Chains A and B, each alone.
Chain A
Amino acid sequence: MKTKNKTLLIGWDAADWRQLKPLMEKGVMPTLKHLVDCGTHGPLSSLEPMISPVLWTSMATGRRAYDHGIHGFVEAKPNGDGIRPIRASKRKEPAVWNVLNRFGFKTHVINWWPSHPAESVDGIMVSNFYGIPEQKNNSDWPLMPGAVHPVEKRDEYADLQVHPSELTAEILGPFFPNYPQLDVKDPIIQSVAKILAHTCSTHNAITQAMEADDWDFSAVYYNGLDHFLHVANRYAPPQMPDVSDEDFEKYHYVVEAALRFHDMMLARLLKLAGEACNIILVSDHGFDVGEQRKVALPEQMGAPSLEHQPYGVFLGYGPDFKVGFELKGASLLDVCPTILQLFYCPVSRALDGVVLWDALQQKGPTQTVPDFSGIPAFHSFFEEENQLLDEELLLQLQALGYVSDTPTDLHIAAVLRENQYYLARSLVDGGKYQQAVVVLQGLIQEDPNALRFQFLLLHAAFQCNDTVAIAAQIQQLADNHRGDDVRTLYYKGLWYLNQQQPRLAVACFDAVINYAKSRPGLLLQIAHAYVQAGAFSEATAVLDRVPVAKLTQPDVWHFLKAQCLFESREPEQALDHVLSAIAERFAFPERHALLAAILWELKEQEDAVQALHVASKLAPTNQQYLEQLRSWNGKIKSDVVERYLIDKEREKNEHIVVVSGLPRSGTSLMMQVLAAQGFPIFRDATRQPDTHNPRGYFEHQSVKQLAVNPDFLMDAKGKAIKIVAPLVQRLPPHFHYKVIFMHRPTTEVILSQEKMKGASEAQLFQFFPLERALKLEQTAAASLQQLEKAPHVEVIQIAYRDMMTQPEKVCKQLTDFMGIEFDGNTINRVIDTSLYRSKL
């Protein structure tokens, strides 16, 4: 086995390079500056929802919230009697330390959120219930049960907890240099004392573990920075208009002081880690800075997370990391697989992230496994309740504004609904729009007045083109007298665009623009809709009205502007704008694709190929980028791109073959053909053959759960699976599919379906269900349309009648589509024309 270096993972909640870099330059964060200068660093893109327990669990597991199971700050108590802070026991996926333990590495984990009760790791684990004072003074402050593993270490760690009441003016003074008479009743001072004490407790625990016990991997999460920012960022320079001179004078230094203290702690960690240790410093999201800071937050649950920004920090330093390298495009989901790679452990193919090879000194193959089944997601020695501590932690969450403070039954239901809302946001973020629609429909039923549920549903429904849900939701908003709400008008405009009614769309958007003068973000959304619809001159007119200086995301404006300029054949100007967009935020493949197109137009062909290569790496399932890259690379040869294309070709062969179409359109027959050809079939024995399908249905029961739980598709790779329309619209985007879509005249489909129900042919011709036939046709058309638009799907339509009457034609179609030779005799043997009973 190869030698591995130790690795220390440090989490600084809410750290943002825009706050750190000025202090590094000022010379007050020398340790961080040294790590940046001698390591690899860059932004780390966050996930939705930007809620710390959700994000830190994604960091540890490499999975999104809908997979790892941690959906919010709180959970229902097991007895249903109220809520309590979220427990690690809810985690459904193994964390990086569980995998490392399985491969024999010793791990210390301190204060990860959530990590209570402490898991029985091979090493030390101190849970996030450590260092939480449940009373006002530090006398008789016992360590919480279940907070430390192994149990025999309890006393050692209990003594290292720092209580806020221990902190003296000498300690707190540097946070308030212009506030000599520290007032004990000042709520900011009280908050700073609490946060600082907890930060010290965390730091004491990690330094103790690193110094006193052997380890291969240590992870520590400091939540203090996020709390310092929520409490005092508004007082930081430059002075905000609503902050009085007196308050500014007193509190302006708190955030800088907090960051300086983190730098000092970092120096200690570096010393204890030693030279042969990799250091990874990460944050889960960024934070509002400068002019971006909000004067006030809306009164809604989870409102403080509105101060979070989508880019946190990544820093890798040590023997395995590149020196002085600036990393781009890293995601929070990449941290777990990268750590596993540092230890040469296998990486699960089910993980959502990738190894950050660009950050590492050496490249090498990643050993992968299908999943981490067999490695327990969570294993603790402890399951006792602690009512007092639950209350204290809930109070902390309330104080920060994440949870409201009236613990009635209604409130509890609202809090748990909030978790479902977070789940829906995670599903939208992960591209699982149809599943998000289902979750949001449930939420709207429970709380029909919550507009944020309704607008998120509309957003998700537009993404997956769920026209039924869109129409129903717009109608519901109109019924609830919200038809003139500016956001409703925006979605109505989108709906009209979708329905090819541009005049009505323009009328809606014009109304929105008049409302939205003070909401430049909404103007951008309209410009985006116009660009999507190919209405570039309308988009340009809207973009020119946007006050760019007021935008929180000017990169979006630059990108849209670049698209419009490129369309109006002004590539040089377009180039400036797309480069600005990429410089601001890198990890958007469509920006690199546009850059590539512009460069190609400007005859910078080698650079164009490189840009498209980046786009394709960022969007690995986008077939359009791949095809273009193949075509260009044929003219401008690049070894790197060539290798990449060969790898992609190999991956493509792992696609899932989906046989689809309306029920009774010949889907079972096509499955029989594939089976007879020797193609592996994904089916179970639940539905047996009957007189309507004497040779079997070739179905799998899991397909019925596709919208809710598509995980079974992992096992369908390389096989054929039957998924009828409209269910086929819910295929998740992270696989490649070859869809064989069966076409049969709707009248025949209806005849066949009605006969299954026992109706006679004579009855049917007398009372033909015309309305249902129309609906079926719409369903088939919508399914087909969506499949044909999806970049990760290839579709072929096969006519049922051709199978009956021209099998040799079907044989050729399948051979061309599947890339494997189909035998005409085999098809002939399968097709039994006597079963073609419902025909016109």
Chain B
Amino acid sequence: MTIKQNHLKNSETKIPSEFWVQPDAKGSLGLLALGARGVKMWREARTQLQNTTHENQK
């Protein structure tokens, strides 16, 4: 299994069209399309989100 189940739980709503944006705009795929710079930003944002979720749970 290569995809973590918990990542997929958030997919209940339909994916909004703004994911199809050009790389300089926001959106996860847009960030990945930026390449090295984008992946760092994407990972940072994800870590922040996870930390926030963790704090809230506490």
A interface residue numbers (CB < 8 A to B): 28, 30, 133, 136, 160, 162, 164-165, 167-174, 177, 180-185, 189-190, 193-194, 200, 203-208, 211, 260-261, 264-265, 267-268, 272
**B33 CB to nearest chain A CB (Å):** 4
Using Cβ atoms and an 8 Å threshold, which residues of chain A touch B10?
Answer: 168-170
Assuming the contacts A169-B7, A189-B3, asked whether A208 and B29 have C-beta atoms less than 8 A apart, the reply is no
- A201 → B minimal CB distance (Å): 9
Q: Are B15 and A177 in contact (CB under 8 A)?
A: yes
Q: A260 contacts which chain B residues (CB < 8 A)?
A: 20
Among B3, B8, B20, B29, find the residue whose CB has the most chain A CB atoms closer than 10 A: B3
Question: What is the chain B residue whose CB lies nearest that of A202?
Answer: B35
Q: Is the CB of B8 within 8 A of A169?
A: yes
If A162-B39, A169-B7 touch, whether A174 touches B20 (CB-CB below 8 Å) is yes
- Asked if A165 contacts B39 (CB within 8 A), the reply is no
User: Given contacts A165-B3, A184-B1, is CB(A173)–CB(B19) below 8 Å?
Assistant: yes
Q: How far is the CA of A260 from the CA of B23 in the complex (A)?
A: 11
A200 CA to B36 CA in the complex, in Å?
Answer: 9
Q: Is the interface of B mostly helix, strand, loop or mixed?
A: helix
Q: Considering the chains assembled together, what is the distance between the CA atoms of A168 and B16 in angstroms?
A: 15
| B29 and A174 form a contact (CB under 8 A) | yes
Residues on B with C-beta less than 8 A from A203 are 32-33, 35
Interface residues of B in 25-50 (CB under 8 A from A): 28-30, 32-39, 46
In angstroms, Cα B22 to Cα A265, docked, is 9
Chain A residues near B36: list those with CB within 8 A. 160, 204-205, 207-208, 211
Q: A211 contacts B11, CB within 8 Å?
A: no
Q: Given A181-B12, A208-B36, A193–B19 Cβ distance below 8 Å?
A: no
Quick check: B7 and A207 within 8 Å, CB to CB?
Answer: no
Contact B23 A264, beta carbon cutoff 8 Å: yes
**B7 adjacent to A168 (CB under 8 Å):** yes
How many Å lie between the Cα of A136 and that of B4 in the bound state?
10
* B5 within 8 Å of A (CB atoms): yes
Q: Once the chains are docked, how many angstroms separate the CA of A182 from the CA of B15?
A: 11
Which residue of B14, B20, B22, B28 contacts A168 across the interface (Cβ within 8 Å)? B28
Q: Is the CB of A164 within 8 A of B3?
A: yes
B13 at the interface (CB under 8 A from A): yes
Nearest CB to that of B9 among chain A residues? A169
Q: Is the CB of B3 within 8 A of A167?
A: yes
Closest 7 CB pairs of A and B: A207-B35, A169-B11, A173-B15, A264-B33, A208-B36, A164-B2, A168-B7
> A201's closest neighbor in chain B, by CB?
B39
Are B33 and A193 neighbours in the complex by a CB distance under 8 Å?
A: no
Tell me which of B5, B13, B32, B34 has the highest count of chain A C-beta atoms within 10 A of its own C-beta. Answer: B32
Q: Given A136-B1, A190-B1, are A182 and B34 neighbors across the interface (CB < 8 Å)?
A: no
Q: Which residues of B contact A136 (CB under 8 A)?
A: 1-2
With the chains together, A182 CA to B46 CA distance in Å? 20
What are 16 inter-chain pairs, A to B, with CB distance below 8 A?
Answer: A162-B32, A168-B8, A168-B10, A169-B8, A169-B10, A169-B11, A171-B29, A174-B15, A182-B11, A183-B8, A185-B1, A200-B32, A204-B39, A206-B35, A208-B35, A267-B23
A204 to B38, CA, bound (A): 8
Say yes or no: B3 contacts A261, CB within 8 Å. no
* Cα separation A168 to B12 with both chains bound (whole Å): 13
Q: B46: which A residues are within 8 A, CB to CB?
A: 168
CB neighbours of B39 from chain A (8 A): 160, 162, 200, 204
Nearest CB in chain A to that of B7: its residue: A168
Q: How far is the CA of A167 from the CA of B32 in the complex (A)?
A: 10
A167–B5 CA distance with the chains assembled, in angstroms = 11
The answer to whether A268 and B29 touch across the interface, beta carbons within 8 angstroms, is no
Bound form: Cα–Cα A190–B38 in Å: 23
CB distance from A5 to the nearest CB of B (A): 22
**A211, B37: Cβ atoms closer than 8 Å:** yes
In the assembled complex, which residues on chain B have CB atoms less than 8 Å from the CB atom of A268?
Answer: 23, 33-35, 38
Do the beta carbons of A180 and B12 come within 8 Å of each other?
Answer: yes
